[in-house]
Structure 1
Amino acid sequence: MTTSPDGERVSFDERMAEVRERYPTEHYVSRALDRSMADRRGAVDRAESWLSSVGLAGQV
């Protein structure tokens, strides 16, 4: 959720915007994002928090 298609580090919001640019709003990918955005954001926040707490945030 924080890596671009080219493998570059991007923010969660940037990645979600990039995915949305590729799929029309009625596409199942866009609909799935709409329904799961809060869970996805929560997962990214938890992962980033954990990485920070163990000192790995700058390494991944």
Structure 2
Amino acid sequence: MWLKLLIALVFIGMVASLAAGAGFLLHDDSASRRLITSLKWRIALGCVLMGLLLFGFLSGKLG
């Protein structure tokens, strides 16, 4: 139960980071670093999500 909730929260965080990045791309000037920071967060959350999914499938908690 907790694993599925954690996976859902990480996925929601990725979508939020994607939406924030799109907003930064449209509204910030070229000197802003917020877009690259949003991309870094999205990549990190993607790695965490893949790790959680791998753990879930290998341990049998997700099937």
Q: TM-score range by the shorter chain?
A: 0.3 to 0.5
**Structure number having the greater helix percentage:** 2
Q: Specify which structure has the bigger relative contact order, considering alpha-carbon pairs within 8 angstroms and separated by 6 or more residues.
A: 2
What TM-score do you get using the length of structure 1 for normalisation?
Answer: 0.47
What TM-score do you get using the length of structure 2 for normalisation?
Answer: 0.46
Instruction: Please tell me whether Structure 1 or Structure 2 has the larger radius of gyration of its CA atoms.
Output: 2
